[in-house]
Structure 1
Amino acid sequence: METPPSSEKDFFDVFHHISGEIDAIKAGEQRDPQSEKERVHELICFVEDHADEINEDGTILHQFLRDARRADNCPPEVLNTVLGKLPEAILMNFSGAVPLLEFIRRRSKKMVRVVIEFMAQDMKKRNLASLATLTFGFAETWFEENEQNPDTIEAGREIIQAAFNFNDKPNELLPVNIDLLEILVNLASPEMLFKSNNELSPLEQVLRFDLCLSDPDRQLALVRLILDKCPNSIHDLVTKEVRLQPWKANNSLHQPEYSVYRWHIATRESWHNQHLRQMNASTPTQVGPPDRLATSEIASERGLGGTQPKPGMMLKGLMTASYTRIPSSSPSFDADRPAKPSILKPSHPPTIMDQPSVSEGRGKEGQVSRRPLLRNGGLTNGRKPKEIRFTKQDVEAADKASDEICKELGVRFLRSTVFHNDETRNAFREIDTEIQRFFGNNEQHYYFAMDTAKEYRDMTENQVRNYFGKRDHYHTLRHVFLQPATILLENDQKTPHGSSRYTDHLQFFNWFREWGVRKIFKVVVFDGDHPHRDEEVEKALAGFVRGKKKYPSFDVEILDWHKEDLCPEVIQTATPQVRELHLHWSGRNSVLRGWSEPEGLPALEYLQKVYIYYTVPSIEESRIRKNIESFTRRMKQPRRRPVKMGQANQNSTSTKAPVQMQSSRQSMLVQAHEHFDDYKSLPTIQIVDVGTVTPTGAAGPDRAAGSASESVEQPWFKYVEEFVSIIPTPEELPDYDFKNPHLRRVRVALIDDGVDLFSKSMRCLESRFLEGRSFDQTPDGPNPVYSSVSGHGTFMAKTILRICPFADIIPYRLKTVRDASSNRRVPDASSAAKAIKAAIEQDVDIISMSWTIRNDNKKISGATLMELRNVVSACEGTGSQCRRIPIMFCAASDDGIQGRSQHGDRGEFPREINNAKVFCIGAADPHGQVWPEVTDQNGLNYLFPGVDIKDVFEGDSHDSDTISEALGSQISDLVTRNGRTGSSVATALAAGLAALLIHCTKLGHYYTNAWKGPDTRRKETITQQFVDQIATYEGMQNALDNLSSGSRSGTKYANPSKDFACAIQDLRQYDVQGGAANNLPQSLKPIATLCRNLCRI
């Protein structure tokens, strides 16, 4: 570039001449347009020769900053010539002034449009990053003599922030028209769109509900553009320095940070709540002027103020009057002070009009003709309005646009949690926590996963619909993991021969469509020993039946179908949008050849990564490696894109453009995509070899034999089970109110390794299970709570329901880790703390924990143990917020003599949880004496039967002849043909008996209220206070003490035989009269008497 003129006179003479010509052109353009065109042409020629003039005050473009009138009057052709001669001037910083930045701050609409559209003509060379680099290089040369060193690298970021600085001027929501914002986003680099400090990022500004009202059609397009350019913005957090009034008033939402999704929802709720308050406060007889209110509830740490609405304007229709934007308190421009974003606040709410307003005229044929209104400026005649009105239809359109934005944000977020690089692929992430923080919704389900270590052979359609069909499934699922399953269809679906019909796990895809699921990002299907046909794969994923589209496609983006040598044509048909493939290979080279053909996997436009799984003997390793290397080379060959990416935006939820664009603007956006997305070729496919080579002749581990001796069931169960079988069920009691807290079903939280809800043996019990939670986290979310790894939790659930079949069980699945000393799996302390907390918050009556965690385990961090130790204290609360703590049962450890010698008086959890009164239960033999393997025989509260306890429910798939090692001695039992043995079984029996006693007190309370006879029931009256008392630690301790007997170890042996035998005798008296259920309520008297006797009331 030539050295600038040494004389200031030369530069100012040039600008003086340009200014004079601009004035002359403006003055004469009405008299002789033709001559003025010639004059414009002459000025363009002059500018061509002198537009690169520069001095220490800047360039000619900078002079327009000092003369805004001439800038507005300058013909666009001249301005384009000025820009074309020295495009670096757009970002040059002279005396703290950057032209484009100042034009935006001053709302110089013409100059902003001309400059941005000029840059859009050549996105590659004139984007903000390129111009910043050119400007910096120029500055190093030019300012070397002038002893200045302006910082131009951050100019692009400042321009973006200023352009998205909404409502800095009165009656203008946007400082830059939204079509120009779209171009600016394409001109920016991702770094310029990043969130910095605590200010609102461009994405967060765009997500405000105000823009839905201003331009509902284009807002979604702008959101998509920002997320396309800067995908990580989806994880931006609105920090605690920003507040919305509804959040501040709602303590349940008061958190330090808010996701962009919740931020958008809150701005929408804030807008509607203001107008609801206005509607309730206004009167139809009085109209008052809008009043300026106190400081805005939305304010950042920089001290931004605002206004809030006060009642005053008369409402008409559903909502409120007019919507006015208040000027900033300091409209003067300061070039050295960057503009601060302000938050949109109405001085009074906008009008929602059901009828034409007084400003509307009548057009032809009596139709209403509304005066056109510029959403971002003023009326079409140039006059700026004092207020902007919205019709009811405007608000409905805004709400609809807001719903689409929420959908877009949800889809983008879930996609971001699925795709990650290899370094973080196996990193532990609590997906549930991330989802909760983003959506803030505990009700919806965002994924579906079966336990990948199990097969489900005994499911029924009724079970599936009752358990999963009641869930609120999100329209997009993050992942779906399906294991082989045999599902019995409903009775009305018979074969032609009248036999029952069965289906398999692919039926879930039909149910997903029925439940409203429209997209699934990641699908993992374990196909079993008899894989499905290609047509079944296409139908399940893409809805193709006999080659024709019959159902909607799920648009899967990650596919891991465990079927060897999956056909590439099937992949193209079933998942045309797949980005990541997991292929299971048989070892045949012909399959690799077919996959790598140009018409095979390379034809998948969005495919970026392929994982190859195989297992081969070591003798074939060299040949296999060679074939894989050849396959990799073929797959990395350049690929041609079949269609332009701009025609189908893979990152968005819709492939259709949201608005119709003018051809010139559309071409600018296409150029932007051409610069930042390569149209000429598809991305290179990365091949990841995850195959395994096994030594030949490897054998599996031998299985130990179990005891073949038979056991005799203990008489302890005889009286309890007989008592349960003859008492009336709550459903048999007239007008039994399950919603009454003193009559509702007893809720037992079972914290274990999950429950096999879909096993055959659970069919008769499935109605007794409520939705629980899993804290067994994996990189793809938690393992399902409705599945048990070893069957331990399943047996505990059956044992509880064996004693009290009237209770509801809420299962919580623990995470397990391998203990270094025993090499067995033990409960994870952190997941145990979370499960206990969740159970307390769900207001259960009893918590059953058939496991222990040693407090001397050095592998567990002190912080984690402290979390477990204080979990109850953290949940209790104080004052009016005090929460009821359930009755808690835990198992003693069963390490025997070796455990006592090694660990001595070591402490154990859960019994050592602070402020928690926990019953520690030990196993007793059939004679009521402590089982020798119980470690701490002096630290027990009660003994319960725990030796050779049978499973009375048929079809337990986990019955085994071996010791259950899957979860280690801290959470498992001795399992033989005789049954299960251990303190964990005794704990489940204790929880079941406690549930039965509470249930009986509720029946007694019902009897007390239902009795209509003489008031002579003192010995069997059960009040609400009694129901509350027995559901406490002290009340249950009193009841268990009264039905217990002694043992040689000194620990009380809970033996209800005598008390239950008396109650049974009294209940049998009603047999001759048709049974207890036919003699209500008097037949409940023995139950009420039993409860009063146990607690000695």
Structure 2
Amino acid sequence: MDSQAESLATLTRQLTGGISAELEIADLDDYTNTPFDDQTRQIDHVLSGFDSDIEVAKERNAQKDLKINELREKKLREVQQTMHSDEKLSIEGIKPLTKSEENKILADCWQTFGRERQSNWHCLTKEGRNFLHHLAYQPWVRDSRPCPAWVVTAAVSERPDLMDATDLKGRTPLTAAIAENNVRFCLAVFTQKTGKLEELGKYLRRECTIRESSNISDSELTCLHAALTPRHFSNQNGSHRAKILLNLISMAPREMFTVTDSHGRTPLHLALEFDCSSLPSQVNIVKMLLQRGPEALSIAKKLDSDTLPDRSTRPPRGPDLNRPLANVSSRRDSGSKFETYSLPEALPKTTNEIPAYAKRRELEEKEHRERQAASDEILHHLRLLCLRTQDPDKASQFLKKLEGNDDKVLWFDFGPRKKMSEPEFKKVFDHLGFESVLQYVAFPQIDVKTIEESGHTEGRTEWIPDPVVIFFDWLRHKKRGVKKIIRVIVDDFEDHEASHNSHSDEGIEQALDGFNVEILDWARPDICPSSLLKFGQSLREINLYWSGRNPVLRAWSEAEGLCKLRNLERIKIIKVHGTQSSRRTEENLHSFKQRLEKSWSQAWPAGMHRLPIIEIDASLPAHLGHALAHRRGLQRGAVQPSPFNSHNINPHRWMECMKRFSEEFRQIVGKLSNMKRPVDSIIPGPVVVALIDDGTDKDHSDLSFNRPFRGTSFEQYQQGSRYRGVSPWWHSSSGHGTLMARLIAGICPSAVIHIIKLRTFAAQDSEKLQIDTKSAIEAIKYATELGAQIISMSWTVKPPEEDDTSFRNALHSALTDPQGISMFCAASDQGKFADRTFPHAGNQGSFRIGGATATGKTLDTVGDKDKLDFVFPGHEVVIDHWYEDVDRKTLDEFDAHSGSSVATALAAGLAALIIECVRLGVVHTNENPEKQNDPDIAVTANDLALIRKSQALKQAMLSIGTDMNTGHKYLEVWRLFEAKTTRLNEHRRNADFLGQMETIAGLARHFLKR
């Protein structure tokens, strides 16, 4: 054969062979099928009709192939005619049929076929199957003449309504194809155009509802559940499996993402357990599920440790990530939730084995790193979506289950405006541990004290032009480790009377740099667009505060303005000032929208990024409007000192006695904590008091000596407000909670006080704050789960109008906790009436505390006096004598605050002190072996467990000494504590720490009735 003929033959093979005669459908070339009719079934006329349609399709397919080949040959002849006989044929420049040419022929083929044959495709076979079912059930195997894949495409295109029909097995066509591992059918369905696919997804909605009354198995509940079932497509490679899943997720109706199987699992749960063989594909599957169906995060089936990636324990296996590495043994330390790993006990002995072992080990470590990276990425996307879509309390619960970290804070809210130095700020907040991603950060106008004001360096002053930068730098510090903030809220309006200047553009840039903020509500008018470009590439929403000046609008809407922020979805213009008329303002805003639309379309042609929604608001957000209206003259929680005239008031013996003893006790505890101890020395943890109130201003000087506070808040800002979030527990709404914490810490300085903030609201017919019952129930549950030994509730609420079962159950769970919880509740101060107020009325196993005068007489306002457990000094005495900085208005502002509220805090503090004396008695016994064998002297861990029980604690309190005239309800503390205080003082002055500890141990034995 001469060279020209050989070249021509080669060209002919290229043009007529190696090119698929069908529409290219995501690597379908590997999938073939047997003829449809296997000649083994009974006669089914509908089935026969379907088989006849298939045969017609095959004939049309042959005709289509013939037409394509004819066009190829025609093109080949045209090429040959342009060549000279002596010219060597080159095939590089010869192009076969284009894809569009082939697709046009194919589309004409299946569209004609569909229109002609579709009229009977809705008919059902004996198995209840329509034509699409018939195609879905066919066994697609290799080495057989393929049925045209376009038949599926044609059927779906002409009759999409057949997609929602179910056969006698309860399967839709798509679910049937997945269950039968019919990959070719699935891929053919997904060749529809995007718009068509979205429309097709609507026909899958029926799967989301028909399952409730059927006996469908979990693996075939919906097409998504089926596709995520491990045994389906198990023999296919990961890329085809991933393609099917990603296409299916993109077309599924939103309702399908929240359908749960008998175990409560949504498709998201299944995806996290799913092993896709390809980690990048698995990450993409989870990401798309989160994007399309974020509601699945709140479904009842919890994303628990058996479902979610566990970064802290085992090497990951796909999203489940729980399979240990080969040749690595895992062990779980006793009492630990973490697993550690050790190498095999023996290494290979022969030289030849060592390279193979090292290579295998290297591959295993690489696989482990890859799986760990995939796990981290999945966790990151789960965390982000949760923080973007869930309320703070739900997000906190979810992430605690996800990552098992109870101490991490998901948000930071400074609280109301106050003046504070940087060292003071750090002292108050340095103990907080943050997640790497925060849901939101909120700052009011902050007045940072100068060095001179804070007293750190005499005679020096320091001007801080952008004070909030200090606090964002504090969050950025590696100790806090915050890397991303989703929402930032800053009140930054100028207030010349208060000497507050807004932050500069440079200051805002420095504050937000690197945090990848997504929603910005920085209330400073006319932020420069160039500043936004420096830190705002992640912005999705932004509130822009506008002074009314048109040049600002022009700057925001020009080519170098907001249009450069490609991720923006919503822009809100808030007008805060302005001298222009309403008509001119409207004209300027209208022009702003037009310019922004133009600049956006030029910056992102062909719809690469959708134009953000633009909102115009002529009023300030609620939180800022309120702040501006009350900025001068009202600061919630701030109280003014009451007049104090020492000549008209006699010192109160009860408080005087306990304050003196508390001071001695505080010094013992402080010295004990600073002492070096043997390695095997065991010191029981201090008593935990859960203070359920309206928060605590933890920067108060009376609380500075106490150990670091912890807390949580059940008060969320009003729903619908742009200032959505949690009211910080480190701020007391009325000042009441701060006073209660001061009283408890004042009596028992070593107690760990855990602040639990209730939700409060203003009643319509009263200026006083009311307690939300639901938040009270949640707070009691939280205190129980926390493991508190004492719960202090210095408030009362009316019995729930609806069913009070939840309230009673929460109280019962707390009071029957096997570890021992004592609950102190305030009596109602509503006069001489039956007291049916909660929490005490919900379970009378709690301590009911009433307020007393300086002489021990129960206050006249206390109802049901005979049903009190104890009476303690009331606020009339305490405020006037010991907390002169607290105005009576602080107590009167809160409707639930009563004359008994202070008495309740004192009772809780005294109970905590009794437990602490026994705890120190245990420490003293453990460190003095000679005392351990004498049961009359030794104070043991069993004694500590006993004193935490309510009944034992009540007997210990009665042992202090009571006044018979008060029905043995008023504790005359001086009977026991005055002499002990004198003895402790003597030991301290003589540097006799052992004597101090023996005195406390003696008190412990007294409480234990030794």
TM-score (norm 1): 0.65
The answer to whether structure 1 residue 407 and structure 2 residue 370 are counterparts is no
Partner residue of 2:660? Answer: 722
The answer to whether structure 1 residue 631 and structure 2 residue 589 are counterparts is yes
Partner residue of 1:1056? Answer: 973
**Whole-angstrom CA distance in 1 between matches of 2:544 and 2:865:** 55
TM alignment of 1:283-298, pairs within 5 A: none
Partner residue of 2:756? Answer: 812
**Whole-angstrom CA distance in 2 between matches of 1:51 and 1:795:** 80
Change in Cα spacing, 1:430 to 1:272, as seen in structure 2 (3 Å) is closer
Q: Does the Cα contact within 8 Å between 1:525 and 1:562 map onto a contact in 2?
A: yes
**Whole-angstrom CA distance in 2 between matches of 1:739 and 1:826:** 50
Task: Compute the displacement of 1:159 (Å).
Answer: 6.3
List per-residue Cα deviations over 1:636-658 (Å, max 9, x = no partner): 667257699999xxxxxxxxxxx
Partner residue of 1:893? Answer: 828
The answer to whether structure 1 residue 447 and structure 2 residue 388 are counterparts is no
The answer to whether structure 1 residue 508 and structure 2 residue 458 are counterparts is no
1:941 corresponds to which of 862, 869, 873: 869
**Whole-angstrom CA distance in 1 between matches of 2:684 and 2:134:** 82
The answer to whether structure 1 residue 744 and structure 2 residue 685 are counterparts is yes
Change in Cα spacing, 1:266 to 1:238, as seen in structure 2 (3 Å) is farther
**Whole-angstrom CA distance in 1 between matches of 2:859 and 2:471:** 46
**Whole-angstrom CA distance in 2 between matches of 1:537 and 1:1087:** 55
Q: Does the Cα contact within 8 Å between 1:461 and 1:489 map onto a contact in 2?
A: no
Change in Cα spacing, 1:72 to 1:221, as seen in structure 2 (3 Å) is farther
Task: Compute the displacement of 1:1030 (Å).
Answer: 3.5
The answer to whether structure 1 residue 605 and structure 2 residue 566 are counterparts is yes
2:746 corresponds to which of 779, 802, 807: 802
Amino acid at match of 1:868: F
TM-score (norm 2): 0.70
The answer to whether structure 1 residue 537 and structure 2 residue 505 are counterparts is no
Q: Does the Cα contact within 8 Å between 1:88 and 1:132 map onto a contact in 2?
A: no
List per-residue Cα deviations over 1:3-52 (Å, max 9, x = no partner): xxxx9999788556568899999xxxxxxxx99x99x9999989967973
Partner residue of 2:18? Answer: none
1:210 corresponds to which of 253, 256, 275: 275
1:464 corresponds to which of 405, 412, 426: 426
Change in Cα spacing, 1:612 to 1:1022, as seen in structure 2 (3 Å) is same
Amino acid at match of 2:375: S
Task: Compute the displacement of 1:586 (Å).
Answer: 4.3
Q: Does the Cα contact within 8 Å between 2:271 and 2:285 map onto a contact in 1?
A: yes
Amino acid at match of 1:910: P
The answer to whether structure 1 residue 862 and structure 2 residue 802 are counterparts is yes
Amino acid at match of 2:283: L
1:582 corresponds to which of 543, 548, 554: 543
Change in Cα spacing, 1:591 to 1:708, as seen in structure 2 (3 Å) is farther
Task: Compute the displacement of 1:575 (Å).
Answer: 2.2
**Whole-angstrom CA distance in 2 between matches of 1:238 and 1:723:** 52
**Whole-angstrom CA distance in 2 between matches of 1:170 and 1:394:** 21
**Whole-angstrom CA distance in 1 between matches of 2:889 and 2:475:** 39
Task: Compute the displacement of 1:590 (Å).
Answer: 5.6
Structure 1 unaligned segments of length 5 or more: list them: 1-6, 26-33, 137-155, 248-257, 283-314, 320-352, 371-388, 419-428, 544-552, 648-673, 973-981
Change in Cα spacing, 1:1006 to 1:164, as seen in structure 2 (3 Å) is closer
Q: Does the Cα contact within 8 Å between 2:545 and 2:575 map onto a contact in 1?
A: yes
**Whole-angstrom CA distance in 2 between matches of 1:81 and 1:869:** 65
List per-residue Cα deviations over 1:714-768 (Å, max 9, x = no partner): 2333333333344551353466699988743222222211111124554333xx2
Amino acid at match of 2:615: Q
Change in Cα spacing, 1:744 to 1:417, as seen in structure 2 (3 Å) is closer
**Whole-angstrom CA distance in 2 between matches of 1:1015 and 1:62:** 81
Amino acid at match of 2:963: G
Amino acid at match of 1:970: A
**Whole-angstrom CA distance in 2 between matches of 1:576 and 1:1021:** 66
Amino acid at match of 1:1054: L
Query: Is the partner of 2:608 in helix, strand or coil?
Result: coil
Count of aligned residue pairs for this structure pair: 863
List per-residue Cα deviations over 1:42-91 (Å, max 9, x = no partner): 99989967973444776999998898789976699x86699689953798
Structure 2 unaligned segments of length 5 or more: list them: 1-48, 68-75, 78-95, 123-130, 207-219, 332-340, 494-499
Change in Cα spacing, 1:1068 to 1:393, as seen in structure 2 (3 Å) is closer
**Whole-angstrom CA distance in 2 between matches of 1:192 and 1:862:** 33
The answer to whether structure 1 residue 52 and structure 2 residue 112 are counterparts is yes
Query: Is the partner of 1:949 in helix, strand or coil?
Result: helix
Percent of pairs with identical residues: 24
Partner residue of 1:991? Answer: 908
Partner residue of 1:559? Answer: 520
Change in Cα spacing, 1:10 to 1:106, as seen in structure 2 (3 Å) is closer
Partner residue of 1:685? Answer: 614
1:88 corresponds to which of 158, 177, 180: 158
Q: Does the Cα contact within 8 Å between 1:101 and 1:162 map onto a contact in 2?
A: yes
Query: Is the partner of 1:561 in helix, strand or coil?
Result: strand
Change in Cα spacing, 1:970 to 1:809, as seen in structure 2 (3 Å) is same
Change in Cα spacing, 1:772 to 1:684, as seen in structure 2 (3 Å) is closer
**Whole-angstrom CA distance in 1 between matches of 2:309 and 2:300:** 7
Query: Is the partner of 1:1003 in helix, strand or coil?
Result: helix
Amino acid at match of 2:746: R
Task: Compute the displacement of 1:605 (Å).
Answer: 3.3
TM alignment of 1:938-1017, pairs within 5 A: 938-946=866-874, 947-950=876-879, 959=885, 961=887, 963-964=889-890, 967-971=893-897, 982-1011=899-928
Query: Is the partner of 2:820 in helix, strand or coil?
Result: coil
**Whole-angstrom CA distance in 2 between matches of 1:355 and 1:923:** 86
Higher relative contact order (Cα pairs below 8 Å, separated by 6+ residues):
1
TM alignment of 1:896-915, pairs within 5 A: 899-900=831-832, 904-914=833-843
Answer with 231-240 or 566-575: which moved more: 231-240
**Whole-angstrom CA distance in 1 between matches of 2:848 and 2:254:** 57
Task: Compute the displacement of 1:404 (Å).
Answer: 0.8
1:916 corresponds to which of 812, 824, 845: 845
Query: Is the partner of 1:944 in helix, strand or coil?
Result: strand
Change in Cα spacing, 1:397 to 1:433, as seen in structure 2 (3 Å) is closer
1:523 corresponds to which of 488, 492, 495: 488
Q: Does the Cα contact within 8 Å between 1:1042 and 1:1095 map onto a contact in 2?
A: no
Q: Does the Cα contact within 8 Å between 2:444 and 2:490 map onto a contact in 1?
A: yes
1:791 corresponds to which of 731, 735, 739: 735
Change in Cα spacing, 1:564 to 1:743, as seen in structure 2 (3 Å) is same
TM alignment of 1:346-495, pairs within 5 A: 391-417=364-390, 430-432=393-395, 435=398, 439=402, 441-443=404-406, 445=408, 447-450=410-413, 452=415, 454-458=416-420, 460-461=422-423, 464=426, 467-468=429-430, 471=433, 473-485=434-446
**Whole-angstrom CA distance in 1 between matches of 2:581 and 2:102:** 76
Query: Is the partner of 1:399 in helix, strand or coil?
Result: helix
Q: CA RMSD in A?
A: 5.8
Query: Is the partner of 2:585 in helix, strand or coil?
Result: helix
**Whole-angstrom CA distance in 2 between matches of 1:505 and 1:209:** 45
Query: Is the partner of 1:839 in helix, strand or coil?
Result: helix
Amino acid at match of 1:1084: M
Change in Cα spacing, 1:62 to 1:1039, as seen in structure 2 (3 Å) is closer
Query: Is the partner of 1:565 in helix, strand or coil?
Result: coil
Amino acid at match of 2:953: M
Q: Does the Cα contact within 8 Å between 2:710 and 2:754 map onto a contact in 1?
A: yes
Q: Does the Cα contact within 8 Å between 2:509 and 2:531 map onto a contact in 1?
A: yes
